[in-house]
Every structure is written in C-alpha cells, then in structure tokens.
Amino acid sequence: MSSTADYKTEFMRAAIHGGPLSFGSFTLKSGRQSPYFFNAGQFYRADLLEAISTAFGHTIAEADKAGVFLTEGADKDTSSAASFDVVFGPAYKGVPLATAAVSALARLDKARYGGIGYAFDRKEAKDHGEGGNFVGAPLAGKRVVIVDDVISAGTAKREAVAKIRAAGGIVVAIVVALDRMETLPDAPTKESALGALRREFGLPILAILNLDNIIEGMKPFATADDLARTEAYRAQYKAED
C-alpha cells in the first residue's frame, strides 16, 4: 500500500470509528437532509488529531512538491524550498487544523518545512496588547495556504481570502478535509461550492477525502440502509464539476 493510501485510509478510519463522521439523518445549512455529517470539531482526541494532521500534512506536501501551489512568475524549482510560507486556518475550526498541519509538515520534512508558519484570524479585532485581526505569522508578502474542514456554501473561504489579501498576503491554495461533491442549492448549473470557488478565484482547491471515498470506506461496516441512503444522496445531489 502506498503512503498516500496509508494516510487517507487512517484518516477515514479515524473519522468513522472515532466519531467525526456520523451516519443517520442530519439537516444541513442548505436545508437538505443528509445521510451523513462530518464534524472536524470532533477530532479533539490525541489519536484522532494525529490522523487528521498527518492527512493534511501529506496532502499539502504532495501538492507543494508537485508544483501545485506555484503562482505565475514564481520560481519553478520545487526541489528544495517550499512554495508557500504560511498555513492559515479560519476561526474557529480552522485554527487547530492550521497548527496541527504545520506540525505535521515539520515532522515530514523539517529541512523543507521547518520555517513554515501558521496564522488565524480573530472574530473580533483585539484593541489591547499586540492588537490586530490575526494571530501567528505575518501575512504581508507571504504565500498562504488556507486549510479548513469542509466547503459548504464557500462563504467562510471567501471571507478568509479577502482578509488575507487585505493584509497583503497571497493566497495560493485552499485545502479542506472533505469535499461533499454536491451541487450548490438553487444554482443554475450542477456546480459544487468547491468548483465555484475554484472558478471564482482561479486557485487550486484540494480535498483529502470526498463523498466517493466515504461511500467506499463505509461499505465494510455500514448497514444496508445507511449505504443505500448515502448512495441515493450522491445520485441526487452530486455536482458535475
């Protein structure tokens, strides 16, 4: 089994057996009734955090070394130096994901990623002490990878991109734990939130897992009813991008 399969398999196992990925009936913000729900806030236990941080680390490192994060006019040599400077997590769930991802990157390759910083935003600007809207690494002039749990409508990611750009940062990619692969509610075309963001910003947007992965991963243990409802949900709402 390849290292890619290893970390994705372990992430899937942790999500399913540890509680972050649940099956049943859940009402989403869109009003849809989903047969599954992914909650990154449930990766609070050490072994579960290890699984998601490792998955983010591998996903980011593989994309970096493949040149996925390179912007126009950037040095095309990705053999030794990272093509990004900061991992940014939108408050609140993105905060532990960013810090854990940076730690995982350092474990994977300290020479390449030991100087990578993390940052996150405040919900309200701090007016005392160091003040400001952000915590962590400075963003001005830095190449930034945004990490988060899922993309629903994409609103939080648009806000993160706007904040980083306003601070002088250069967003080079968005990486999420899960791509639900479903169409946006009331969209004129069968486009997903992930696809809409990719088209709007012209950025690479990557996911560790997607709905197809979940369906394959649940087959060994899921009830026939859970599996059938999840497959039916995919058939009804899966995007075409």
Domain-wise residue ranges, the chain: 3-237
| 8 Å CB contact between 135 and 119 | yes
What is d(CA 232, CA 214) in angstroms, rounded to the nearest whole number? 13
Prediction pTM value: 0.90
CATH architecture, domain 3-237: 3-Layer(aba) Sandwich (3.40)
User: What is the per-residue pLDDT across 146-202, written as a single tens digit (0 to 9) for each?
Assistant: 999 988 777 889 999 999 999 999 999 999 999 999 998 876 678 888 888 898 999
The per-residue pLDDT for range 69-104, each reduced to its tens digit, is: 987 656 556 566 899 999 999 988 999 999 999 999
Among all residues, which ones are annotated catalytic?
A: 126, 128
For 23-43, what is the mean pLDDT?
A: 91
Say which residue the tokens 């999840």 belong to.
230
